[in-house]
Structure formats: C-alpha cells, structure tokens
Structure 1
Amino acid sequence: MATAQRRRPELAAFLRSRRARVTPADVGMPPGMRRRTPGLRREEVAQLSGVGVTWYTWLEQGRPINASAQVLDAVARTLRLDRPEREHLYHLAEVPYEPGPETLTRTVGPEVQGIIDALDPHPAVVYNSRYDVLATNPAYRQLFLIPAPVRTGVPNVLWALFTVDEERCPVVHRDKELPLMVATLRSGYGRHVGEPAWEDFIRRLSTASPYFAELWASGDVSPPGRRVKTFRHEAVGELRMSSLSLSIDGMPECRIVTYTPEDADTREKVALLERRRSARKIPLP
C-alpha cells in the first residue's frame, strides 16, 4: 500500500513533465490562445488520447484510479514517450508492461566484444534469448565447437545440440541440461509468441529433433541462471564448468555467459588447454 501511495505522486509529476515538453505544433494543433506554458493542456492530451478530461486530470493528479494498457498506450503516443519512458509510465500506473514485438539483436558492438575478450582465459559468449551465438572469445572457441549457422544465418547452440548425435554432444548430462535450456528458451518465447521468425524456429527445430519437440511440449519455463555443467573435450576429457549469465544494458534479451572451472581437476585441464593455445601463437624461428 505504501509503495502504491508513493508511485501516484511520481506518476503525477512524470505526466506533467512529459506534457510540458510537447507543443501544439508537435501534434499538429494550432497554438490557440496565449499559454502560460508552451506545453499541451490537460484537455488537449485527453482529446488526442481519446479519454475523458476528468479521467486524465485525475490520472495526472495521482488519484487512485485504474488505467488499462490500451489507455496508457494512447497517452504515451500523445506525449511522445520513447520505450523507456513508456515502460516507466506503466510501472508508475501499476500496469504490467508488455513490450511490442522486436527484432532480436544479431550483432554486438566493439565494447561488448572487448569485455568478453578481456575475460580470456575464461570462456565467454554472448547469446540472445533464442540462443543465437552473437560473439565469443578465444577460450570459448577453444573449448566448444561453434555451431554452423542455421537458416537464419546465425550460429545457434540449441540447433547444434539437438541435431548432433548423442555420443557427439558436448554436453555430458544431456537429459538434465537440455530440458533446462529449452525451459529457458520458453521464458524468452513468451515475449515473441506469434512472431514468424520465432514460430518458424520452433517449428523447424521440432521437426529436426523429436527430443526438442517433446521438451517443448512440456511447457516448462525457467529463467537464465547459474549452472554447473559438465562438458566433454576431445583433448582433455570431461570439464565441470560453472556458468553465469550477465545481462547487457542497451541489448534487450541478450546476456553474456561466462564459464569458470568448478573444481581443481577442471582448472588443471583448462590451464593445459591455455598453454597449448599460447604455444601455438609463438612464431616459428
């Protein structure tokens, strides 16, 4: 209750500040009579948004009234709110925010690439919510075979893991780890239901892998999080690695996943691989 009481004054102040920056000319209206401030009047916002003047006045005064997503969207369009401002409006009005369909990020900038390169010799990779591989560092490429691009033109971990023979799968505890990955995929899918690219991806992978189709049908949902996974490497055998997901500001639905050795045996094997990799970089005399 205290939180709601605090949000209403914040909502009122936010709406007033956004209204003050939009001029009649911005929305195609004549300036009209002399104004005390250059921004829109409350009745103009209500008219342009298709809501009642009294209702909008109460909303801007921070009164405890209910607002639907449709009405908030109309107000947001009138006030020319960008995505962060729209999301902020929803939170202050205590309405669940559902962002519109967006194209998944497919590339990373030099700053993010530099960060994961700096994590070497710890393997690091950047995924989007569909497990497309957007960037890797040398240690990751040494430990894991980068999957070939699927029809989207981007390498995808799920496609690689579910379409390879079980004995060649780099994940040791396949029946434990792959269900968790599919459940994580579904948590991202909820924001993209009905989008052709996502539906096509799910349909094609279900056709290619009956096991994926079975797991997808279970409906399980799980967010990304810390995991201890066991991988097999052709040169050193099994590796127990702890994975940690880190979100990236400015890259919605993307995360950096880092891997660190979970035990002394794995640390020794990773160090051996690093020494071999460093030796290959030494130019021949």
Structure 2
Amino acid sequence: MTATTPTADAAGDATPAEPPHLAERRRELADFVRSRRERLTPEVVGLPPGRRRRTPGLRREEVAQLASVGVSWYTWLEQARDITVSPQVLDAIARALRLDAPERSHLFGLAGAVDPAPRPTGVEVPQSLRAVLRQVEPFPASIQNCRYDLLQYNRTFSRLFTDLDALPPRDRNCMWLAFMDPGWKHALVERRETLELMVANFRRFGTAHYEETHWRQLVDRLLAASPEFREIWDRRNVADKVQEIKLFRNRDVGLVRLHADRLWTQPGWGMRLTVFSPADDETAEKLERLRRLAG
C-alpha cells in the first residue's frame, strides 16, 4: 500500500499523508498473515475439505470462523487496510493460524501490540551457553533476561555480590537483590549511581513488556517493598548504557574494578550474556582467588 497525498477538506485544511513506514508495516503484516493461512489445510484445523479450492490453504472466511472475527474485518487485515487490531484479536488469529512461538512474536511485533500470553520467563538456557559460562572463568558471567532474572551464572559470579545459591529462585533477580539483599547492597560501591542507571535501563527494557503479568508482578513487588525503588521509579528516567568501570566490594577479596560487556544471545526472549572482565592486574588476581574460593 502506498502513502496517499494530503487532501483538502471543505474548510481548506489538509489531511496529512500517512507515514510510509506505517503502510509498509501493515503490508508486511498482511503478507505474513496470508502466508500462514495458505500453508494450512482444512484437515489440520478440523474442518471438512469441501469442494475443490482455487487457492492453497484455508479460505479467509474459515480463518475468520476459527478466530471468531468478522470476515470483512479479516479481509481488510489481509488487504493491509488501516484498521485497529487489538491484542486479543491477534491472539485469536495466532491460535487459528497455529503459529509457533517465533511466528507469534513476529505477528505481535508487526502489529505493534503487546502479547497478552508471552513466552514464559523460565526459558531454558542452552547447554552451549552454559559451557561458555564455565569457559570464561575466572571472569564472573551470567545469563539474564531483560527483566534481570538470573537464569544461569558461573561459580565466580555466584560469589561476586552475595551467596546466590543460598537464595530462593524467586529472589535471584538483579533488580530485587540490588534493592533488597544486604550483601548485594554492600557490594555496590557507587550504589546510588548504579541503582539509578539500573532502574533507567530496566524501564527502557520494559517498554514492550509492561502489560505482561511477570513484569507487572516484579514492579509491584519492588514498589511495595522498597521506598528507594519507588522514589527512583517515579522519576521515569530511561537509559541504554553501562558504567564504563564498575566498582564492587567483595566480602572475600575486597575492591574489584570491572568492565561489563553484554551480548544479546536470543533477543526475542530477551536473553543476554553479561561478562565482567578485570580492569586492572590487581582485579585479575582477585578474580582468580575468588574462583578458587567458589570452587
């Protein structure tokens, strides 16, 4: 669908042309939905085969029936019309078209909508990434999602801030620990600066997730438990950066100076690898000691 040119109404006012990227996004959404419809057969979705079909896959009216939406509305969707598409209707269409997890994520992304039934947060970390965590020791490293849940970590990381293995799984979240765990709070040398940056990054990461239950639950839990989090959260600052040098106070080896590098390994799930590397020779020696203690 191409952008239209401005038109004048009776009063002489011009209607602005639609931004080209919106029309392109609707066209991509329409083409994607149609391609998923055409790959399905009536037998797969439990419908009778009916008479000979002129086109492959399901008919539009069959998808509309399966999704409990109007045939005209669904037709407009595949025609890339400028229509409102709610998350609930997209959910019904995703189920009707038998979309898998990546396809479902792509559908909601094209529509610019928040998935009401997102992937679970307890994503299994692949064995290959677990091997990476082991191989980078003594560098502390962890696998986190964009909600700051600690999905996996190596031995050195387990002793860097607090004794992670002694904590219940529900509390193994960097946002929660930074505000609520005494050991973690003590480890942050530049604590206030670190907390403000963490919350600003967390708010930006959550832009596409605030309506998801697990995001809302974590924010609500922190708001109820920490006046300090509430005060920083209410500022509504956003950021996308990491402190150049991070200073941590470890209970076993003392002050360490670290660089932090993040690698997004599975952006669709928000899974990233974070590795802390020593910023000086003294810290490198301390990390070796910490690895031995953790081992």
Matches within 5 A, 1:1-285: 3=21, 10-37=28-55, 39-60=57-78, 62-69=79-86, 70-92=88-110, 95-102=111-118, 103-105=120-122, 107-147=124-164, 152-164=169-181, 169-189=186-206, 191-193=209-211, 195=213, 201-223=218-240, 225-228=241-244, 229-234=246-251, 237-249=254-266, 252-262=269-279, 267-276=280-289
Say which SS state the counterpart of residue 271 (structure 1) adopts. Answer: helix
Q: Distance in 2 between matches of 1:72 and 1:203?
A: 27
Q: Relative to 1, partners in 2 of residues 1:201 and 1:86: Cα closer, same or farther, differing over 3 Å? A: closer
Letter in 2 for 1:136: Y
Identity between Structure 1 and Structure 2 (%): 38
Q: Relative to 1, partners in 2 of residues 1:47 and 1:109: Cα closer, same or farther, differing over 3 Å? A: closer
- Check whether the contact 2:64–2:71 (CA below 8 A) recurs between aligned residues: yes
- Check whether the contact 1:161–1:169 (CA below 8 A) recurs between aligned residues: no
1:253-284 Cα distance to aligned partner (Å, 9 max, x none): 3322111234xxxx2123212454677799xx
- Check whether the contact 2:258–2:278 (CA below 8 A) recurs between aligned residues: yes
Letter in 2 for 1:258: V
Q: Distance in 2 between matches of 1:210 and 1:21?
A: 53
TM-score normalised by length of structure 1: 0.75
The offset of 1:29, in angstroms, is: 2.4
Say which SS state the counterpart of residue 133 (structure 2) adopts. Answer: helix
1:237-263 Cα distance to aligned partner (Å, 9 max, x none): 43332222222328713322111234x
Q: Which runs of 5+ in 2 are unaligned?
A: 1-18
Q: Which runs of 5+ in 1 are unaligned?
A: none
The offset of 1:176, in angstroms, is: 0.5
- Check whether the contact 2:178–2:184 (CA below 8 A) recurs between aligned residues: no
Q: Relative to 1, partners in 2 of residues 1:107 and 1:80: Cα closer, same or farther, differing over 3 Å? A: closer
The offset of 1:7, in angstroms, is: 5.1
TM-score normalised by length of structure 2: 0.73
The offset of 1:164, in angstroms, is: 4.8
Q: Distance in 1 between matches of 2:56 and 2:255?
A: 68
1:107-154 Cα distance to aligned partner (Å, 9 max, x none): 533222112222223221122334332222233235333346656545
Letter in 2 for 1:244: D
- Check whether the contact 1:126–1:257 (CA below 8 A) recurs between aligned residues: yes
Partner of 2:7: none
Q: Distance in 2 between matches of 1:234 and 1:118?
A: 24
- Check whether the contact 1:187–1:222 (CA below 8 A) recurs between aligned residues: yes
Letter in 2 for 1:27: V
Q: Relative to 1, partners in 2 of residues 1:80 and 1:188: Cα closer, same or farther, differing over 3 Å? A: same
